[in-house]
Structure 1
Amino acid sequence: MSVPVEPDFAIAKMGDGEDPEVFSIMCALTNVAFNQAANTTDRYRIDCTKPGIPPSRKVFVTGKQWDVTASGVFSVDEIDRFNAALGVRKNYEIEFRQRDGTDMGILLGTYEGAAVMTANNVTVGEEGTAEVTLAGEGEVVWTVAP
Structure 2
Amino acid sequence: MAAGQQLGRTLLIKIGDGADPEVFTNLCGLKTRSFNMSATEIDTTIPSCTNPGGPVQKTSRPGISNRTFTGSGNFVSSAASKVFMDHVRASEQFNAQVIVPGDGTYEGAWMVTDYSFSGDVEPNMEFSATFVAADVLEFTAEA
What TM-score range do you get, normalising by the shorter chain? 0.7 to 0.9
Q: Which residue of 2 aligns with 1:4?
A: 4
Partner residue, 1:122: 117
Give the letter for the 1:84 counterpart. Answer: D
1:94 Cα offset (Å): 2.5
**Percentage identity across paired residues of the two chains:** 27
- Deviation digits for residues 53-95 of structure 1 (CA, Å, limit 9, x no counterpart): 2432221222212110021112344764343112221111223
Distance 1:12 1:139, change over 3 A: closer
Q: Give 2:131's aligned residue.
A: 134
Please tell me the residue identity of whatever aligns with 1:5: Q
Name structure 1 gaps, 5 residues minimum: 98-106
Alignment CA distance shift 1:96-1:7 (3 Å): farther
Task: Find the aligned partners of 2:128 and 2:21 in 1 and give their Cα distance.
Answer: 28
Count of aligned residue pairs for this structure pair: 135
Please tell me whether residue 93 in structure 1 is matched to residue 97 in structure 2.
yes
**Structure whose residues are more often strand by fraction:** 1
Equivalent residue for 1:81, pick from 80, 83, 87: 83
Relative distance call for 1:117 and 1:34 in structure 2 (3 A) is same
Closer/same/farther in 2, CA of residues 143 and 68 from structure 1, 3 Å limit: same
Shift of 1:28: 0.5
Q: Which runs of 5+ in 2 are unaligned?
A: none
Q: TM-score, normalised on structure 1?
A: 0.76
